[in-house]
Structure 1
Amino acid sequence: MTVSTPALTRTAGESSHSGAYTLALIAVASFAMTLPATKALTGMLSAQQIGLYRAVIAAMAAIPLLWLARAAWPRREQWLSLAIVSGGNIFGFPLLTSVAMQYVPVSHGAVIVAAMPLATALAAAVLSGIRPPRRFWLYACSGTLIVLLYSLWQSGAAGLYVGDLALVGAVLLGAIGYAKGAELSQQMPGWQVISWVVVLSLPVSLPWSVWVYTPGSLSQLPTIGWSALLYIGLVSSLLGFFAWNKALALGGVARISQVQLLQPFLTYGYSIVLLGESWNWLTAIVCALVIGVVWLSKRQP
């Protein structure tokens, strides 16, 4: 007979949390390219085309994956939750960020999207009834404030843009989708959650994408345009969620969502490597502060 000891239980829990944070970092690193890739498509495709084409591409990739895995169809009681995830992560966030990128620079978009971790924790608290301790909220709000102030300084934008409302809506809907997706990931594998979400969205996304299609909009896309579209379709809308949903299920929505505070810094890092933007020490210092806040929030029960 195997006897479970507190030490063994603690070790297993720590291992699980470490795995959750590793998966979260992989997901956030992939999500950090979403705004730059979406921005690259502006002027080539409309906001609706960008948001809908990426959903159809994700669904076309998910269908064979579900078929090869012989995944069971979602239960009837799970359909509403899948619809909520679809509304937030397949239609809400992609379409609204595509609209926003028509009006604001990527760096300014990072200012608003930086609130996503806090919004996700709040959504999880409301939807699941789980109440993290007050100290967790202190760390979450502190991390969000640090990132917002830094992002505002980085973008040099103190005023409001037309795209801000779209970004706020994207954050709210995306956070609800994250929270519901994590809840479903307790009932089925995380990769199946997002795969079923994009596939079951196809009856809406496919006709809608045909409706907004304009002759030559895809055939005339340059290589960089196709690269950006395939990235947000395959990685931002599908593969990134494989790791993200699993991480949220393993480590808890409130705690793991705080890893996304690092996303603006990864976005800036990509801009340095890919766009040749300049490096500054303030970025490294603020990033270190955010990592400290995430570490402190990780220690909360």
Structure 2
Amino acid sequence: MVATVVWSGSFVATRGMADTVPPVQAVFWRWIIAAVAVTPFAARQAWQQRALLRKHLGYISLATLFGVTLYNTLVHQAGLTTSASNMGMIMAASPVIMALYARLGGERLGARRSCGMLLAAFGVLLLVGDGSLGFDFGAGDLWMFGAALSFATYSALLKRKPAEIGGLAFLLSTFVLGALMLAPAYAVSLTVQGGFEATPHTVGPLLYVGVFSSAVAFFAWNKAISLIGAARAGVVYYLQPVCVAVLGLLLLGERTGPAQLLCMALILGGVAFGSTARR
């Protein structure tokens, strides 16, 4: 729940700096800030487990690629051409993919949780279609579908994290490795697009997505996956479109009409129904 609410704000922050900070540069600095923020808490554990981290470097690199490098780059790219509300709505497709991954892995979803997921998914479809089941996706929407797939893959990979790797050590290693993966693209972006001006309108959102949306939210999400699984955590993730729509209205002036409110009620109803299911 903590991760879902915090990530809702990140879509608004991402959309807000879309015209001032190039996507790759925003993502690169996001992970630099996140690594700095988590280092005081994770450095000791990471150092103690350095041999273990090297042993599982292949797994950590794969998780980093989907959850840190690709996912966030796609989100920031989408922010150039679609609204914060649409970003949150489309990302709500990822729990469906998480549930499919879980089912393929042999996890039983249960009728109640499946019904809650379908009800919430129906609300998301209506929300994206502006009250109907017709769709008119732009480039930004398609980038967000890629982000949803990437994030769902990352969440599925978390279930395979070696138990002996500490949560903080894993978090710090993915942040550092993610920044390293982005470094070549960051250098190209600087050369082609130039840098960005450090102002309150750029530094403020970067600090938010670096500290809260990365360090805090990723720790909370990883912990939730380890405790209740990706499919069950994914049901609560449906709250994100509602949070994003409210923040988009308050901070960016994005419209939320009666049709959107009805769809949000469906999403909330599905979340409430599915999240109370027994495992």
The TM-score normalised by the length of structure 2 is 0.85
Identify the residue that residue 159 of structure 1 maps to in structure 2: 136
Structure number with higher relative contact order (C-alpha < 8 Å, ≥ 6 residues apart): 2
Identify the residue that residue 85 of structure 1 maps to in structure 2: 63
Match of 1:33, SS? helix
Q: Which amino acid aligns with 2:244?
A: T
The answer to whether structure 1 residue 238 and structure 2 residue 215 are counterparts is yes
Query: Does the 8 Å CA contact 1:85/1:180 hold for their aligned counterparts?
Result: yes
Identify the residue that residue 198 of structure 1 maps to in structure 2: 175
Match of 2:160, SS? helix
CA shift in 2, pair 1:57/1:268, >3 Å: same
Question: Which structure has the larger Rg over C-alpha atoms?
Answer: 1
Alpha-carbon shift at residue 40 of structure 1 (Å): 1.2
Query: Does the 8 Å CA contact 2:6/2:212 hold for their aligned counterparts?
Result: yes
In 2, Cα distance between the equivalents of 1:274 and 1:79? 41
The answer to whether structure 1 residue 26 and structure 2 residue 2 are counterparts is yes
Deviation string, structure 1 residues 105-153 (Cα, Å, up to 9, x no partner): 2222233212011122223334x44242355333322211212212432
In 2, Cα distance between the equivalents of 1:148 and 1:187? 40
In 2, Cα distance between the equivalents of 1:154 and 1:120? 25
In 2, Cα distance between the equivalents of 1:275 and 1:185? 42
In 1, Cα distance between the equivalents of 2:260 and 2:81? 25
Q: Which amino acid aligns with 2:102?
A: A
The TM-score normalised by the length of structure 1 is 0.79
Deviation string, structure 1 residues 53-90 (Cα, Å, up to 9, x no partner): 21222223333432244552234553222122211121
Quick one: which of 26, 42, 64 aligns to 2:18? 42
What RMSD in Å do the two structures reach over aligned CA positions?
2.9
Identify the residue that residue 85 of structure 2 maps to in structure 1: 107
Alpha-carbon shift at residue 179 of structure 1 (Å): 1.8
CA shift in 2, pair 1:189/1:29, >3 Å: farther
CA shift in 2, pair 1:48/1:279, >3 Å: closer
In 2, Cα distance between the equivalents of 1:249 and 1:151? 31
CA shift in 2, pair 1:203/1:285, >3 Å: closer
Quick one: which of 224, 244, 256 aligns to 1:267? 244
Q: Which moved more, 1:31-40 or 1:46-55?
A: 46-55
In 2, Cα distance between the equivalents of 1:111 and 1:54? 23
Identify the residue that residue 60 of structure 1 maps to in structure 2: 36
Q: Which amino acid aligns with 1:242?
A: F
The answer to whether structure 1 residue 248 and structure 2 residue 225 are counterparts is yes
Name stretches of at least 5 consecutive residues in structure 2 with no aligned partner: none
Quick one: which of 100, 108, 113 aligns to 1:136? 113
In 2, Cα distance between the equivalents of 1:155 and 1:71? 54
In 2, Cα distance between the equivalents of 1:155 and 1:30? 29
In 2, Cα distance between the equivalents of 1:60 and 1:98? 21
Identify the residue that residue 10 of structure 1 maps to in structure 2: none
